Structure 1
């Protein structure tokens, strides 16, 4: 009997043994696996026995200890949210035994749908369907922020007190760790954000990286699943809204390391998304300019970190050579957003 194809980080035979032991009868035959996405975040594999399909998530290769906690955390949040109106894949199994795949991992159901990452991908939908799909993204965010953390067992999922201050300090430290050139305006932006820190509303479960390409959309333009919960916690819900507003601002750059869906015909403006969120959630969004400016700052820091690693020869691949020149664009947007807000 030939063995199933082996992928770095996932042995289908080892996985099947665990599933047969913990979920007897679930798997009907030999498993095969395909890597769905890789990179700096957790690894995702689509797994099938020829009849049914599942998804496996595990930490990046070589970073087991630093990110091992993420698996339990991600599994916990989707398990909690699966009983709510928020669409998430059904959890199947959490395995913290590192002898199986070399790291903790979890298995969830496979959900059909498309993660739209570019304006070109959205274009075939047409303006009306694109508009509806993005508005549904806002409505799903409202549903997430309406979940009572205590009621679903997530009351201790984070430390919401002082959340914004900690976030600002964290990303400031990230900037210092990758600072090897002058970046006009970034210290001014960081300082201005610190001076104008808003008072957070009541904490909610937040996604942490909420955008169109982190959800799956089916052929009826419905959101079938919200994915990538590795940055989720209890905190200020308006950080999710600010990030969504930032990603909904067309940049119209020659090349972009971030999603370009905002440039698709029919995509609602940030103001329209904010208004819909405010109307449907009942939350005060008057300080949303701060949260959007913070999102621009955070992305500038992330991109500068990538540029810094590129200059050290630690990142290879197409497009990395141009990321450095995009950082000032994000800084400028952050400063402008804060000033106009």
Structure 2
């Protein structure tokens, strides 16, 4: 996974952190602490920590005021601590610090090594339609594996309330979208009404990652279609597994999508390259491997695009309020509007437009 120099304004207090690490982890080398930042991501800030041959990853919230319950480091730490023994692709958590030692709470976890597929084929990987298909298959199968874990056998059973999950999700994300609304994005009143009135009666509950996308996964250097890590467990909970599938599909762009959709977060994701599954192929394999009925997927897809619009809008709202000056966020309102359109298409409210 590529790292970069720490972005201006997102630096960590190096001396304070070095002292904390040496008091928390025994037998660290005498070498100086080196900090780099992972470049991907638009939410929590993630850093690579190195002291000699010792490596770890630190996650902390972004700077500025945050929405209620968002960027909860303690919760994410507890989630991966609960999931890791049952699903080792989740990194092993190592320490959590509630006190604002570096300005925000943070946790430290295992540093996994491997390949991350984002917008281009990584150096050292030979692209082919066959490899793209194999990666797609692995993405489906690991999601099915996660959803097959009996959450009642994990510590998550004491952290969640899965009953009424979709109702809370719909109502909650409508509130979040409205609270972060700006005049340059759509209100989506008809869509919001449709979502409230069409919640499926699915009572199945599973562990859901809820941010399942290609660049949150890591693959083996030796076998570039074998997943070795899965990251960003901030949104993980227990709920409707088809909501997780829908969320995954909202990120899974395909070649035929409009440029507005594919380029909403920057360069088009690698899933648009030849050989990668279409969303339909992804969902077909998921149905085959999991045995689940996907007849209500239009609802889950509509909600997923609306939820993603809400997430992006919260980021854009922070930019508009001057809480961040990251230039990547300047035109995110256009992506929000496209996602709202996509949700309306899935809901059958508007016709699909070409281009």
Is 1:194 the counterpart of 2:196 in the alignment?
yes
Q: Residue 313 of structure 2 contacts residue 333 of structure 2 at CA under 8 Å; is this kept in 1?
A: yes
- Partner residue, 1:137: 139
8 A Cα contact 1:41 1:60, kept in partner: yes
> What is the alpha-carbon distance in structure 2 between the residues aligned to residue 132 and residue 107 of structure 1?
32
Paired position in structure 1 for 2:3: none
Q: Kindly indicate whether residue 250 of structure 2 is the aligned counterpart of residue 253 of structure 1.
A: no
Give the structure 2 partner of residue 116 of structure 1. Answer: 117
Point out where structure 2 has 5 or more consecutive residues left out of the alignment: 1-5
Give 2:289's aligned residue: 280
Alpha carbons of 1:299 and 1:62: their partners in 2 closer, same or farther (altered >3 Å)?
closer
Instruction: Find the residue that maps to 1:154 and give its secondary structure.
Output: helix
- Hey, what does 2:74 align to over in structure 1? 72
For the 8 Å contact 1:248–1:261, the answer to whether it is kept is no
Name the structure 2 match of 1:103: 104
**Structure with the higher helix share, 1 or 2:** 1
Gaps of 5+ in 1: none
SS of the residue 2:109 aligns to = strand
The match for 1:160 is 162
- CA distance, structure 2, for counterparts of residue 324 and residue 21 of structure 1: 45
Q: Within 5 Å, give how 1:159-308 maps onto structure 2.
A: 159-181=161-183, 186-219=188-221, 220-221=223-224, 222-250=226-254, 251-253=257-259, 255-257=263-265, 260-307=269-316
User: Where does residue 56 of structure 1 map in the other structure?
Assistant: 58
Distance 1:12 1:178, change over 3 A: closer
Task: Report which stretch shifted further, 168-177 or 327-336.
Answer: 327-336
Cα distance in 1, alignment partners of residues 323 and 19 from structure 2: 37
How far did residue 275 of structure 1 move? 1.7
Change (3 A) 1:58 1:330: closer
Say how many residue pairs are matched.
335
RMSD: 3.2
How far is 1:41 from its partner? Answer: 2.2
Change (3 A) 1:325 1:77: closer
Q: Distance in 2 between matches of 1:245 and 1:206?
A: 14
Q: How far apart in 2 are the matches of 1:267 and 1:130? A: 5
Q: Is the 8 A contact 2:46 2:57 kept in 1?
A: yes
5 Å matches for 1:84-95? 84-95=86-97
**Contact 2:147 2:241 (C-alpha < 8 Å) held by counterparts:** yes
Q: Is the 8 A contact 2:210 2:248 kept in 1?
A: no
Moved more, 115-124 or 80-89: 115-124
- In 1, are the aligned partners of 2:217 and 2:230 still within 8 Å (CA)? yes
